[in-house]
Each structure stands twice: as structure tokens, then as C-alpha cells.
């Protein structure tokens, strides 16, 4: 492909526009079909029975009573569960859990499926499950970080290294003129997308069709294929719309496998949709952590050491760890940096990736510890961060592919009005007498690319079809990816039909790691360029074309025309070129992969700075976040409207982390006490005000062909610490756990 094309098409007219999401009307009017909206003929409804203890055995189930209930078609228990071809304790893909699928009568966590009931109606299946009336032999559950000894568990998958050390840690500690040594705790949090996990499974011989929300369609095909002993190409996943995902819908889960098994066994399509309560257990969560941070500084306030130890919960049968201590790397310059992780095996469902896995909990604590040390040293928190600004990647010295964090600090502080912040806490009150505090935090998130493929087809009428199995969790991929595709083809957005959300399309990769726009977008971009390159060759070779002999390298595509660069009068329309060439459509392919060499050359990170103002009632301890300013540098922004929404969503989740969310276990049974939206708090509109998102321009020639980094997760990262630090600044009380609740401030 020629440079000319790449340069010209990159700055096409769609990218950079605040286009409203193309599927928005369908979603808000109910026209969009979500997985559980499908009801093929002959459908059976499946309901799982979740364990109500966390550890022990199921000793009895009233299968006869459940089976006798009118409309109950079948009851599946460990006694009669048909065999699976794959081993459920294996992880067939990089996004896999060891799943619980009625292998035996052991209960390993509360919420684990202990039976599946199939009914002609949802009501019949639900009542059948109720009639099962399980009895248990219960062992004392271990659900808190102190309930089991820490183990060095090598985490698998998701790229979380257990321990990393750069420099001489002991020398770093010894060189410190001032130091802090603090322990913070973060709770278990459960991602609760509006749409709960669901599947409609239908078999046709050895071919399986799944209507199922998925953040990773083709990986899901491979995962389910493994469990059922069929080739991945025999599995079709249709996932046009998701009502949120946040990491939990990237992974095949036990309940879904059971529903698919039931469909195979009965020869009828089966639908399963988890209830809200059933989301707390078998589909992943953000594991609780206890983190110790030791920081030292020299006389000038420069860090001599960052020593971050993370302890995180995992299940008794799997090994996902929240890589919280990894936050120590990447953000601040220090001659000695260590992150280490240990895990505690508890009687809980396996944790998994949840929006900004690792960074969210790790940065929350790091940013609070930085704030504590800044105050101890008598340095303004922002000044302290600037003194320790990492010009290159800490530890490795690799250059950043781009890093406009300094500008994020400056613009964010200016917008917020940070200057003049009193150093001491408890200095500011508003006109209502509420204690007012200001705090800040830095945000960082890596820019992974998991790989993707795409196809573009230019039709004889001058419109195009672009295809990739990309997922839209609600973040707007259907729109931003179409914008990229339109630009790559030199077409207006309304001339581009975008197909995604179906596994038979070219593999769109994973909507995860904040890398979907970059990855699937690069693939679409490449596919469009491939079409234009071929079109240019056809025109240049065609004596009837005004572009005859022009040479491909000098052509640019815009608004459905190929032009000679710099000479708008010498042009040919896409439709004419194709018509003279036999009237056939023209297809191209692209991929979005990052070579290991490219990945190794630069540290690739999005950055941000978040400034928070809180008001605290001095008598009641009630906290309100009154203002939140986040300035983020995340490479090129394809759609500022959608990116702003993503960043706002992340910041709101940061408020949630700081003030609201926590799953609490009953100490006797191990059940989660607040497994619903009455007890598991998330912010509502009244909890959120004064959100201000600034997007800082950043050109990144290295991160990928588009210069796109990603905005899906970084919003949560800096916000948690900013809010906590503002609470300290308002009250003088340093709360070293999350969420920070009224009772902590009385």
C-alpha cells in the first residue's frame, strides 16, 4: 500500500466526528434483539439452582418433586448429567475459566450451579428449581482474605506477571529520607451489566448456534467447541447487541455450558438467562485485595523506591488474580520498583477481568499512598507527581510511544482550579457548612492488541459492505468502527454498511483490554486500503479511465472518487471504475495485529489525570462528589462523543469503587448477603454531578496504524484515588479501605 493512501485516508472526514451511535435508536426503542429475546420454536427454558452454601456437599435434592411439577421437562444433576467431551478443569483459550458444570456434588462457592431444570415455560422451570429444596453437609466457609494462608500462585492467562523487580529494592529503601508503609484493602466487586448473562442454544447435528452476548465471538466459539468435542467452525455465535459486558462476557461460563449441554441432550433449543442474583458467583468478579505499599523519597521529593505487594483472593479451583501491584510499574519514575502478588484460595467463584483489571484496584491504592507521602513531605500532590514524572518507562527505560500526561495534569488542574489548594486538610467549607476537599489521582492503562481481521467489499453502486465479528458492548463500536471503515474507503459514513456481531464474519478479536477500536479498527482500515489499492490499479490500467497511467501511488480516495493527489480535476468515480471493469464487487482484507517487535520497542499506555471535589457533612459523614474533572490522553479519538461517554462511564465507576460497591459475605454460610441491586450499591444519577471530561490531543505514530489507544477502562483508574484523597482533604481522615462509607467518617 502506498504512503499517499495511508496518509490521506487516515484523516478522512468521518473520524473525529461526534457521530451518535448508529444502533442507538434500535436500542432505546426496543427494536434491538438481545440474546434472550430469541425464542426459536420448540424452546425449553433452563433455570439453574445456585448453591446457598459456599463450601461442602449437596446431600439431597428432591428431584422427584421437581420432575413431577407440570411443565418441568427435565432435571439435570451430577447424578444424570450427560458427559462433556472437554475437561471442564481445562482452559481451552486465553479467555477461559475452569468451569463448574455439575461434575460432582461438591459445593465450591455460593452461587455455584448445583442443578439445572428445564421447563416448557420459564415459570415451570423456576418452580421446579424451587422444589429441589437442596440439603447440604456444610463445612466452614473461607471467604475473607484472612481465612486461608497466602500462596504464591502463578496466574495464568490475561498476562498478569506474579512478581517483577527493577533495580535494587533494599538500596531504594535505604536511600529514603522519608518513607511510608501503608496497607489498604479493596473489596470484592461484581460486574452487573444491565443485560445478565444469557444464551439461546440450538443444535443441528454437530453444529451449534448460540445467541449469546459475547465480547469475544470467535474465541467463544473455540471455547464452547472444546467442551462439546466439535470443530470451532461448527459453532456460530450471534451477538449483535450486548447490554454491557465489562469483562465478564469475554469468557465461556458454566451456566451457559450447561444450557448448551441440555439442548444437545434434549434435541430442543434451550434458553437460559441468569437472574440478577445469579450474577454473583459463576460469571466472574473483581477479587478483593489487600495491598501493602512502601514508598520512599529523597530530600528533593524524588521517589527512591516503589514497593507494592498485592494479596488477592482467588477460588479453590482456579487461579485468576487481580494483578493490583502491577500498577507500581509504568507510572512514576523510581530507581527501584517491585511488584509482587500472592493469592488466598477462598470458597468463592473465580474472579476474572473486570473493567481495568489490576489497574483499578492497584492505582486506587498507589494514588492514595502517593497522596499520603506528598502530605508527609509537605509537597502539593500534583507537584509531587510532576517531580516523579516518568519520561521513559520506569524500570525498562523504553520510550513511550506517546505520553501527553504532563498536558493532562496541566489542563485538568486548570479546568478544576487546583491552584491555591490548601495543603492542610479540613480547611475548606462551602456556604452550607459542608467540609470541602480536593484530591487528585493519575490514571494509566496499557494498550494491548489481541488481533483482528476484517473484510471490505466495494459494490458496483459505489456503496460498501464492511465486515468483522466485532462486539459492541454498548460502547459504540458499531459506530466508531464504521467511521474508521468509511475513511479507509474514502466514502461517506452513510454509504458504508457495517456488519458485526456474528462469528461467521472475519474474526474481530476481543472487545477487551480497551483495545477493540484500535484492533478491529486497524483491521477495517487495512481492508479498506486493500480495496482502494486494487481500485487504483484497475483505474490506472484502464485506458478509458481519466486516471489511466496515473500510477497508484499518487491516488487518493474521497467521497466515492479516486483523485490524483493535488489535482481534483483528474478523477474517476468508484462506480465508474467498477462498471468498466465488468461490474463486479471488489473485496479487500485487513488485519489488526501488533508484531512482537513493535510491541517490544515502546511502552504503550494511555494516561490521564483526575481531579475530584467532595463535600462531606461534618455531622452525618455523608459524602458527595460535587465535581470531577478528568483529562485523558489516549491517542487519536475516533468519535469524541462516544469517547467522552466511555470516559464518563469509567469515572462514574470510579465513584462507585470509592464510595459504593462491595460484596459482603455471610460468615456462616459464605453466601453474598447483598447479591442484588437493593443491597449492592452502584451510583445513581443523584450520586453523580459535575463531570467534566477533557480529551488531550495525542499523535502516536507507533501504537498502531490508526494512532488509536483506547478509552474503555482508563476512566475508572485515576478516579478512585482522586475521590479518596479529596475525602481526606475534606475531613483529615485517612480511610484505608474501599468503599469509604458514612460509618468510616463519624
Q: What are the backbone dihedrals phi and psi of residue 615, each rounded to the nearest 5 degrees, phi first?
A: -120, 130
451: contact with ligand MOS by CB under 6 A = no
Compute the least distance from the CB of residue 504 to ligand MOS, in Å. 23
285: contact with ligand MOS by CB under 6 A = no
By CB under 6 A, which span of 148-156, 251-259, 349-357, 414-422 interacts with ligand MOS?
349-357
By CB under 6 A, which span of 2-10, 269-277, 324-332, 351-359 interacts with ligand MOS?
351-359
- Is the Cα dihedral 68, 69, 70, 75 positive or negative? negative
Compute the least distance from the CB of residue 313 to ligand MOS, in Å. 17
Cell 453437609 identifies what position?
A: 137
287: contact with ligand MOS by CB under 6 A = no
Which residue spans within 423-559 are E strands per DSSP?
428-429, 435-446, 453-458, 464-467, 496-499, 555-558
CB closer to ligand MOS out of 38 and 719: 719
CB closer to ligand MOS out of 710 and 721: 710
d(CA 185, CA 739): 9
Residue pair 301/176 in contact (Cβ under 8 Å)? The answer is no
Of 427, 521, 484, the closest CA to residue 709 belongs to: 521
- Is the Cα dihedral 489, 491, 493, 497 positive or negative? negative
CB closer to ligand MOS out of 166 and 355: 355
Cell 494462608 identifies what position?
A: 149
By CB under 6 A, which span of 39-47, 240-248, 311-319, 380-388 interacts with ligand MOS?
240-248
Q: What are the backbone dihedrals phi and psi of residue 445, each rounded to the nearest 5 degrees, phi first?
A: -150, 140
Q: What are the backbone dihedrals phi and psi of residue 403, each rounded to the nearest 5 degrees, phi first?
A: -160, 100
d(CA 328, CA 344): 21
Compute the least distance from the CB of residue 357 to ligand MOS, in Å. 5
353: contact with ligand MOS by CB under 6 A = yes
Q: Is 713 one of the annotated active-site residues of the chain?
A: yes
**Which residues have a Cβ under 8 Å from the Cβ of 665 and sit 6 or more positions away?**
54, 110, 141, 143, 144, 348, 671, 672, 673
User: Which of 56, 128, 351, 513 forms a contact with ligand MOS (CB under 6 A)?
Assistant: 513
Q: Which residue is nearest to ligand MOS (CB)?
A: 247
**At what angle are helices 477-489 and 3-10 packed, to 10 degrees?**
140
Of residues 243 through 262, those in contact with ligand MOS by CB under 6 A are 245-247, 250
Expressed in angstroms, the distance from the first to the final Cα of the chain is: 65
By CB under 6 A, which span of 239-247, 300-308, 310-318, 682-690 interacts with ligand MOS?
239-247
User: Which of 355, 495, 660, 729 forms a contact with ligand MOS (CB under 6 A)?
Assistant: 355
Residue pair 59/133 in contact (Cβ under 8 Å)? The answer is no
Residue 418 per-residue DSSP state: -
Spot the catalytic one: 313, 372, 393, 713. 713
172: contact with ligand MOS by CB under 6 A = no
User: Which of 72, 129, 153, 354 forms a contact with ligand MOS (CB under 6 A)?
Assistant: 354
495: contact with ligand MOS by CB under 6 A = no
User: Which of 88, 240, 512, 707 forms a contact with ligand MOS (CB under 6 A)?
Assistant: 512
Of residues 533 through 592, those in contact with ligand MOS by CB under 6 A are none
By CB under 6 A, which span of 159-167, 204-212, 242-250, 464-472 interacts with ligand MOS?
242-250
User: Which of 155, 282, 357, 718 forms a contact with ligand MOS (CB under 6 A)?
Assistant: 357
Give the count of residues interacting with ligand MOS (CB under 6 A): 11
Compute the least distance from the CB of residue 355 to ligand MOS, in Å. 5
Of 219, 225, 223, 218, the closest CA to residue 203 belongs to: 225
CB closer to ligand MOS out of 353 and 528: 353
**Which residues have a Cβ under 8 Å from the Cβ of 596 and sit 6 or more positions away?**
none
- Could you list the active site residues? 713
- Judged by the rule CB under 6 A, the positions of this chain that interact with ligand MOS are 215, 245-247, 250, 353-355, 357, 512-513
Amino acid at each position: 500500500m502506498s504512503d499517499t493512501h495511508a496518509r490521506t485516508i487516515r484523516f478522512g472526514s468521518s473520524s473525529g466526528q461526534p457521530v451518535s451511535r448508529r444502533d442507538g435508536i434500535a436500542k432505546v426503542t426496543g427494536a434491538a434483539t438481545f440474546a434472550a429475546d430469541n425464542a426459536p420454536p420448540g424452546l425449553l427454558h433452563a433455570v439453574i439452582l445456585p448453591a446457598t452454601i459456599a463450601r461442602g456437599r449437596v446431600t439431597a435434592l428432591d428431584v422427584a418433586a421437581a420432575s413431577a411439577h407440570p411443565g418441568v421437562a427435565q432435571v439435570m444433576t451430577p447424578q444424570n448429567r450427560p458427559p462433556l467431551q472437554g475437561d471442564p478443569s481445562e482452559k481451552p483459550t486465553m479467555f477461559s475459566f475452569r468451569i463448574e458444570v455439575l461434575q460432582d456434588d461438591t459445593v465450591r462457592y455460593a452461587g455455584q450451579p448445583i442443578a439445572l431444570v428445564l421447563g416448557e415455560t420459564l415459570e415451570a422451570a423456576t418452580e421446579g428449581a424451587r422444589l429441589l429444596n437442596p440439603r447440604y453437609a456444610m463445612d466452614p466457609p473461607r471467604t475473607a482474605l484472612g481465612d486461608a494462608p497466602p500462596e504464591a500462585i502463578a496466574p495464568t492467562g490475561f498476562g498478569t506477571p506474579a512478581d517483577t523487580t527493577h533495580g535494587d529494592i533494599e538500596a531504594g529503601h535505604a536511600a529514603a529520607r522519608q518513607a511510608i508503609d501503608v496497607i489498604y484493602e479493596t473489596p470484592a466487586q461484581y460486574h452487573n451489566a444491565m443485560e445478565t448473562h444469557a444464551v439461546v442454544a440450538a443444535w443441528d447435528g454437530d453444529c451449534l448456534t448460540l445467541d449469546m452476548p459475547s465480547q469475544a465471538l470467535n474465541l467463544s466459539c473455540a471455547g464452547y467447541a472444546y467442551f462439546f468435542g466439535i470443530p470451532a467452525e461448527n459453532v456460530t455465535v450471534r451477538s449483535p447487541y450486548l447490554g454491557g459486558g465489562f469483562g465478564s462476557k469475554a469468557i465461556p461460563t458454566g451456566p451457559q455450558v450447561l444450557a448448551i449441554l441440555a439442548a444437545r441432550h434434549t434435541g430442543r433449543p434451550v434458553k437460559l438467562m441468569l437472574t440478577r442474583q445469579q450474577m454473583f458467583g459463576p460469571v466472574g468478579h473483581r477479587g478483593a485485595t489487600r495491598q501493602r505499599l512502601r514508598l520512599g523519597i529523597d530530600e528533593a521529593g524524588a521517589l527512591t523506591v516503589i514497593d507494592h505487594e498485592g494479596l488477592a483472593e482467588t477460588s479453590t479451583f482456579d487461579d485468576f488474580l487481580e494483578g493490583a501491584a502491577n500498577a507500581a510499574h509504568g507510572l512514576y519514575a523510581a530507581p527501584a520498583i517491585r511488584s509482587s502478588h500472592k493469592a488466598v484460595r477462598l470458597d468463592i467463584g473465580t474472579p476474572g477481568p473486570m473493567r481495568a483489571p489490576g489497574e483499578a484496584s492497584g492505582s486506587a491504592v498507589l494514588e492514595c499512598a502517593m497522596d499520603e507521602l506528598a502530605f508527609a513531605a509537605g509537597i502539593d500532590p500534583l507537584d509531587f507527581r510532576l517531580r516523579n514524572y516518568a519520561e521513559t518507562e520506569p524500570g525498562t527505560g523504553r520510550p513511550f510511544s506517546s505520553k501527553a500526561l504532563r498536558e493532562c495534569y496541566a489542563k485538568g488542574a486548570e479546568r478544576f482550579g487546583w491552584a491555591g489548594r490548601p495543603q492542610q486538610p479540613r480547611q475548606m467549607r462551602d456556604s452550607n457548612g459542608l467540609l470541602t476537599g480536593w484530591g487528585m489521582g493519575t490514571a494509566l492503562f496499557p494498550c494491548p492488541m489481541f488481533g483482528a481481521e476484517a473484510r471490505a467489499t466495494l459494490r458496483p453502486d459505489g456503496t460498501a459492505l464492511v465486515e468483522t465479528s466485532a462486539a459492541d458492548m454498548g460502547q459504540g463500536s458499531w459506530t466508531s468502527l464504521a467511521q474508521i471503515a468509511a475513511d479507509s474507503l474514502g466514502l461517506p459514513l452513510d454509504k458504508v454498511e457495517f456488519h458485526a456481531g456474528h462469528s461467521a464474519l472475519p474474526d474481530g478479536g476481543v472487545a477487551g483490554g480497551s483495545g477493540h477500536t484500535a484492533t478491529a479498527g486497524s483491521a477495517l482500515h487495512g481492508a479498506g486500503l486493500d480495496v482502494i489499492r486494487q481500485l487504483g490499479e484497475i483505474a490506472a490500467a484502464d485506458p478509458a479511465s481519466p486516471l489511466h497511467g496515473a500510477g497508484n501511488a499518487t491516488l487518493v480516495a474521497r467521497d466515492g472518487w479516486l483523485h490524483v493527489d493535488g489535482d481534483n480535476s483528474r478523477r474517476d468515480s468508484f462506480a465508474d471504475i467498477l462498471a468498466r471493469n465488468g461490474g463486479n464487487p471488489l473485496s479487500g482484507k485487513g488485519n489488526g495485529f501488533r508484531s512482537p517487535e513493535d510491541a517490544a520497542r515502546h511502552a504503550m499506555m494511555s494516561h490521564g489525570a483526575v481531579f475530584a471535589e467532595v463535600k462531606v457533612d461534618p455531622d452525618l459523614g455523608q459524602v458527595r462528589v460535587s465535581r470531577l474533572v478528568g483529562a485523558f490522553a489516549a491517542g487519536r479519538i475516533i468519535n469524541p462523543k462516544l469517547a467522552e461517554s466511555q470516559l464518563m462511564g469509567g469515572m462514574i465507576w470510579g465513584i462507585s469503587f470509592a464510595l459504593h460497591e462491595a460484596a459482603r459475605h455471610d460468615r456462616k454460610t459464605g453466601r453474598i448477603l447483598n447479591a442484588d441491586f437493593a443491597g449492592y450499591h452502584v451510583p445513581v444519577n443523584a450520586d453523580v454531578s459535575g463531570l467534566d471530561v477533557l480529551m488531550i490531543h495525542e499523535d502516536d505514530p507507533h501504537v498502531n496504524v490508526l494512532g488509536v489507544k483506547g478509552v474503555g477502562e482508563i476512566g475508572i483508574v485515576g478516579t478512585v484515588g482522586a475521590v479518596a484523597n479529596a475525602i481526606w482533604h475534606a475531613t483529615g481522615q485517612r480511610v484505608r479501605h474501599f468503599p469509604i462509607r458514612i460509618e468510616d467518617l463519624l
